[in-house]
Structure 1
């Protein structure tokens, strides 16, 4: 069964995307940039200055209008060249008129700097008006666009409207489509619309409930638009693992299967095998929590090592509740284990307390049941717990200059 599954998983996304993404060659610079790591922006070199020792107009505009650090503005200047401040200012004015906050404009421009080159009247405004016409409220549109700036690259008539109507055809009403698009990505517009109806029929014929179809479209609408033969192959792969189509986890597994090619799948199987799981055990864990295949090697190995060496969990315990692999070692697992160890040492809790439950339990419940409850007995417990958690500060976004 495993060999058959691996054969099924011999997917190459670029192969089935090529025929449907030819038009993107015209926008190659945007897509090369948009998939670059945001972290790389902060790590890039300082922008070059012109002969007079000043920053280029592009860098200066981004710094002055958005408060961008020089290194980030310099990185963006390699992908877009700004020349007309009046035109760029008119784009910002349009966004402000539609209720975009400074933070939302900043995020949009940083993710998609080419937006400053688009015609606000003929290119941007019709798309924003269309979103409003299908029911997105004025307060929803800025959030939708700033989190999905890819939307702005696609033709309204040739891509956005046909894909919206295609989704509506299988989901039934505008509310569901809006909810789907708020949770999903507009990269579904990269694909042709002809496959979604037969692909959804495949799911329904297999017994996948409509609620799960909606979940799939919400998490990755592009999957439903993919080549039908490849889609059927992916559906069969999930079935071969033993996951029943009527279960909620089926579409979760389908999302993972469609996104991993054979080499990546094999790599993840090898990683878990090195940690002590057989391939059958890994597939069993996958059938419970498919997203474990998205975890990095460092996360898998460090968490597994801590569970086994420090918490003395058995490998079968971890496989029985693989969701614990997804939690942060520094933010959640180690701090909670430190509290539990103290309480067990002092005899304040049972020796065989469910460690899985301790990890999965909500933050509020954990603090109530294991920290606040024992503050009188162990006064330093809250301080210990708070201090051991490496809390990350929220990102700050600069205030944009008003033209």
Structure 2
């Protein structure tokens, strides 16, 4: 098995992966009551204030791009500079460069709200006590920041040693020699050899390290690892993606009996076996949900007004929604109704774009306000094209709308406002229809400049 996997790419064995194949009732209320609109607005304002501060802090203190800072602000919210400043000061005292610190915070932004003296300093001192030079310490921690989340002692020591061995082997091109030098059957030896197999398959280093420090390690053992890896490869997962690692984790720790039981649950709800595996390909971790959770979400969506076959369709399109709590779905309904959508329209949007269930209230409000209030598209246009709520404002919505507004100001559109589907077409189709078709080269250059400049806001 090992020789097949290690040399499979050269033999062409693994070059072709195989791929598997709402009107809401009057008076309906979910078990958890909705919070009042005023309380929701206050919470939204407070949350936005914290996010704005977080974004500003990350830009000013670490020089991160605005888009990246906004992404991080959705994972951690800073209330002031005191704690994050102490974390940055501690890291700099250990000679981490600004680039390394930025990499650490991008990977694990929660470190900014960790107590620098009580939690972080003892771990850095412990790692340093193992004889690592300052440069070795900063390289390993910045490569795998998650190591700072591990307990002191044997646990953090074990991960540190594994990562150090791999980094050194990579540098000296002695990776295979390292795996051969460890005792056959030893825990450390199995880990290194299994990581070596995954490395040969093309699994990125950042994902390999996440496997090494994961609490549920699919790189332990030998026979079970081989069996799990073979299954994931045969399912057609791409080794260069995070879904490959997710699938490996699920298959490794889930018995065939448990998987069969989960499939039977879905079959009773109206799914075909092929549907279940197609959902697994979209979102491997969906297989972790218990029977109780699966049925609970199914019934919650039915209470929202979806028919059974419509819930099945929603699950198939967006299996991530299975993990949504009853309260989260209730909050989602409240958000849309607060923006002027009816409950029937909410159900219709869920059927067409199930991902809207997982959008934050801030995102839904921001994008709906822009489309409806600033661009003047009717609210029922959003109901017909709810996928616009999933598009990037910076990369797609704003650049296209600015081009549309420029054309409207010059009286160059036959209708005052094109249909909202203008946001759904490909970039090439949009440019061909609204920019390149003009004979006036100066106008075309102006429109292209608007489109490109706005599209690049994300990098500023």
TM-score w.r.t. structure 2 length?
0.58
Runs of at least 5 residues in structure 1 that lack an aligned partner in the other structure: 10-35, 102-118, 395-403
CA distance in 1, matches of 2:278, 2:143: 36
When residues 183 and 314 of structure 1 are mapped into structure 2, their CA distance, relative to the original with a 3 A threshold, is farther
Given the alignment of the two structures, is residue 301 of structure 1 paired with residue 365 of structure 2, yes or no?
A: yes
CA contact (8 A) 2:229 2:248 kept: no
Deviation at 1:277, TM superposition (A): 1.2
Counterpart among 109, 121, 131 of residue 39 in structure 1: 109
Counterpart among 184, 189, 210 of residue 246 in structure 2: 184
CA contact (8 A) 1:200 1:213 kept: yes
Q: What is the match of residue 145 of structure 1? A: 208
CA contact (8 A) 1:145 1:151 kept: no
When residues 250 and 179 of structure 1 are mapped into structure 2, their CA distance, relative to the original with a 3 A threshold, is same
Q: What is the match of residue 347 of structure 1? A: 411
Q: What is the match of residue 94 of structure 1? A: 166
Deviation at 1:305, TM superposition (A): 0.8
Counterpart among 441, 444, 448 of residue 382 in structure 1: 448
When residues 211 and 95 of structure 1 are mapped into structure 2, their CA distance, relative to the original with a 3 A threshold, is farther
Once the two structures are superposed, what CA deviation does each residue of 1:232-257 show, in whole Å capped at 9, x if it has no partner?
A: 3334445562262797543235431x
When residues 249 and 147 of structure 1 are mapped into structure 2, their CA distance, relative to the original with a 3 A threshold, is farther
Matches within 5 A, 1:248-327: 249-256=314-321, 258-327=322-391
CA distance in 2, matches of 1:75, 1:156: 17
When residues 182 and 343 of structure 1 are mapped into structure 2, their CA distance, relative to the original with a 3 A threshold, is same
For the residue of structure 2 that corresponds to 1:195, the secondary structure is helix
Deviation at 1:140, TM superposition (A): 3.0
When structure 1 is superposed on structure 2, of 75-84 and 373-382 the one drifting more is 75-84
Once the two structures are superposed, what CA deviation does each residue of 1:21-59 show, in whole Å capped at 9, x if it has no partner?
A: xxxxxxxxxxxxxxx9833335768779x99xxx73637
Matches within 5 A, 1:60-71: 64-65=135-136, 67=138
CA contact (8 A) 2:250 2:284 kept: yes
Runs of at least 5 residues in structure 2 that lack an aligned partner in the other structure: 1-23, 34-105, 174-182
CA distance in 2, matches of 1:215, 1:345: 47
Counterpart among 289, 297, 322 of residue 226 in structure 1: 289
When residues 264 and 196 of structure 1 are mapped into structure 2, their CA distance, relative to the original with a 3 A threshold, is same
Q: What is the match of residue 19 of structure 1? A: none
CA contact (8 A) 2:190 2:220 kept: no
Given the alignment of the two structures, is residue 58 of structure 1 paired with residue 132 of structure 2, yes or no?
A: no
